[in-house]
Amino acid sequence: MTVPVQSLQFVDAREAADLAAFLGRLLHYDRAAAVRLQAGGSALAVFGRPASFEVLAIRTARLEGTHDFDVTVSAGELLESLDVEGTADGGGALPAPVTGPPWTGILPPRGGWQEQPGLPGPVALRAALNAAVAEFRSRDTALPAERRTRAERDLIGHEIWSRTIGDTGLPLRAVHAAQSLGFLRPDPDFPVALLASGPWLRLRTPFGSIALRRAGGGLGNLGVTFGPR
C-alpha cells in the first residue's frame, strides 16, 4: 500500500458534498463501513460495499492537483473529515489506513468495458423495483406467524433480488443498490448503461456505478477506470 497524502482538496465544494452524501448512505447500511480510495492524476475513485446488496458501489470525485495513492479508510472518519460548508473546496484530512474487509482486494478491472444491450430505461427500472418491493411485502405478509423469521424473509428477498433484468444477466439487487445510493433518477432521459468486462458487470449512471461479478467469474484484476460518475 502506498503512503497516502495527508489531506484531500477538491476542485469545488460540490464534489465534497456529493462524496459526503454517498458516504452517508453507505453508513446508513453499515456504521462500521470501510471504503477503498484510489487516486490517479486529479481523479479519486471511492469504492464501498453497501451491506446486504452483495455489490460494489463506485463514486468518483475530482481533486486539486495530481495524486497517486491507494488506501482503505473508515467511511465514518472520512465523512467526519470533509468540510462541506466551511471552505470553498470542501477539503478534509485523509483518515489513517485501516485493515479492510476481503472485498477491498477484489475490485473491477481497469479497462475492457463494453456496453451491453437490453438494459431498460430508468423509468422501467424503477417500475421493476417497485414491483419487486410490492411482491416482497405481499409474500412477507402472507407468511404464517411461525414462519415470519429473519431467515425466512432473507430467503424471499434473495429469490426476488437475484432475478435478472431481461436477458442482461444484471440482478435486480444491483438496480436496488443504485436506487438506494442515489445513483438513479426517475427521468426518462436519465442516462444509464450496462457494461461488461470479463466476469464483471457494471451499471453506470452520471452519479455513480454499481459493479458485481457474474456467477462463476474469477477474481478479476485489481483496479478501476476513473471514468464518469
- Per-residue model confidence as pLDDT tens for the chain (229 residues): 455 557 888 998 899 999 999 999 999 999 999 999 999 999 999 999 998 899 999 999 999 999 999 999 999 999 999 977 655 566 788 899 999 899 999 999 989 999 999 999 999 999 999 999 999 999 999 999 999 999 999 999 999 999 999 999 999 999 999 999 999 998 889 999 999 999 999 999 999 999 999 874 433 333 333 333 3
- 36 and 126 part of one domain: no
- 97 and 162 part of one domain: no
pLDDT of residue 52: 85
- 119 and 207 part of one domain: yes
pLDDT of residue 225: 33
In a domain, 54, yes or no: yes
**How far is residue 33 from each of residues 46, 77, 176, 223, measured CA to CA in Å?**
12, 10, 19, 20
Cβ–Cβ under 8 Å, residues 43 and 226: yes
- 132 and 160 part of one domain: yes
- 97 and 118 part of one domain: no
- Classify 69 as helix, strand or coil: strand
- 21 and 62 part of one domain: yes
In a domain, 226, yes or no: no
| N-to-C CA span, the chain | 25
- 123 and 192 part of one domain: yes
- 94 and 126 part of one domain: no
| Number of domains observed in the structure of the chain | 2
CB-side exposure of 89: number of CA atoms within 13 Å?
13
CB-side exposure of 61: number of CA atoms within 13 Å?
27
Note the pTM of the prediction, 2 decimals.
0.87
Cross-strand partners of 68 = 40
Residue ranges of E strands in the chain: 7-8, 34-48, 56-74, 92-93, 114-115, 193-197, 200-205, 208-213
The three cell numbers locating residue 204: 453506470
In a domain, 78, yes or no: yes
In a domain, 1, yes or no: no
Domain that holds residue 101: 7-105
